[in-house]
Amino acid sequence: MAVATVVSSPSAFTSIVTLFGVGVLVTEFLMLRAHLLRSQVRLYMVQSSLVAAVALATGIEQGNSGLYAVSALSFIIKVVIVPMVILRLMRVDSADLSQSAIMKLPSMLYIALVTAACGFFIGVPFRTASVIGRGTATAGNAVPIDIAIVLVAFTLIVLRRDVISQVAGFFSLENGITLFSISVARNMPFITDVATFFDLLVAAVVFGLLMRLHHMKTRTLSTHVLDRLKG
């Protein structure tokens, strides 16, 4: 009830969504420097919790019951099931991923910052293009941050050459897109959300299996060794 009261004010709602969006972006920057499998998975759990919170807050603000379900599904699948699947399939908790970066950490952070800034400016026009809930203080204001999250996820995948970080990057990318859809496409048919979550679940299992296969074949989590196939 208290939450409902807080988010019923447009400015409070906008602040909460923006704050959580920035939180997601920060977790991505932390992912750039995470050295352990378990650290990456924990950061993903935190990030997904924030996404679930944005969905809940938006659902309350808009009175959209579909978003309650999206929030619940996000939490159950992304915070509980996907991390569990990844950790069960990859029993290499202590593996050090610190050597997987293709450049030094400050350089990576600099690139990620520039990328985030680009994403922010690309997303600005969407603040006015947000059509659902037009005329109210909507989550459409968070679109620039959502685009920044998507682009920083790409840099994570490119700059870290280990299978764990690349998968974390892909799931972050998916979180960014989920935030974007909450911002601008929140009235989409619920079946779309269900199908997307199902797909995410399947993807988590397959990524986990392929990571395990890679580790069994190469005895490393690094993708530096994937250089047999060329030309």
Name which of 27, 200, 2 is nearest 112 in CA terms.
27
Residues 121, 135: Cα–Cα separation, whole Å: 22
Residue 63 touching another protein (CB under 8 A): no
What's 133's DSSP letter? T
> Which alpha helices (H) appear in 63-189, and where do they start and end?
65-74, 82-89, 105-123, 126-129, 143-159, 163-184
Residue 154 touching another protein (CB under 8 A): yes
3-state secondary structure of 143: helix
Task: CB nearer to another protein: give 6 or 92.
Answer: 92
Residue 39 touching another protein (CB under 8 A): no
Residues 123, 143: Cα–Cα separation, whole Å: 6
The two three-digit tokens of residue 57, written as one number: 């807050």
Interacting stretch for another protein, rule CB under 8 A, among 1-9, 19-27, 50-58, 129-137?
A: 129-137
Of 52, 163, 164, 221, the one binding another protein (CB under 8 A) is 163
Residues 204, 1: Cα–Cα separation, whole Å: 35
Residue 65 exposed, middle or buried by CB count within 10 Å (0-12, 13-18, 19+):
exposed
Closest approach, Cβ 112 to another protein, in A, equals: 16
Closest approach, Cβ 98 to another protein, in A, equals: 21
Of 203, 220, 221, 224, the one binding another protein (CB under 8 A) is 203
Of 100, 141, 196, 222, the one binding another protein (CB under 8 A) is 196
Cβ-based neighbour number of residue 120 at 10 Å: 17
Residue 64 touching another protein (CB under 8 A): no
Of 10, 84, 213, 224, the one binding another protein (CB under 8 A) is 213
Q: Which residues contact 220 (CB under 8 A, 6 or more apart)?
A: none
Task: CB nearer to another protein: give 91 or 217.
Answer: 217
Task: CB nearer to another protein: give 14 or 196.
Answer: 196
Using CB under 8 A as the criterion, which residues of the chain lie in contact with another protein when the complex forms? Answer: 125-126, 129-132, 150, 153-154, 157, 163, 166, 170, 173-174, 177, 180-181, 184-185, 187-189, 191-192, 195-196, 198-199, 202-203, 206-207, 209-210, 213-214, 217-218, 223, 226, 228-229, 231
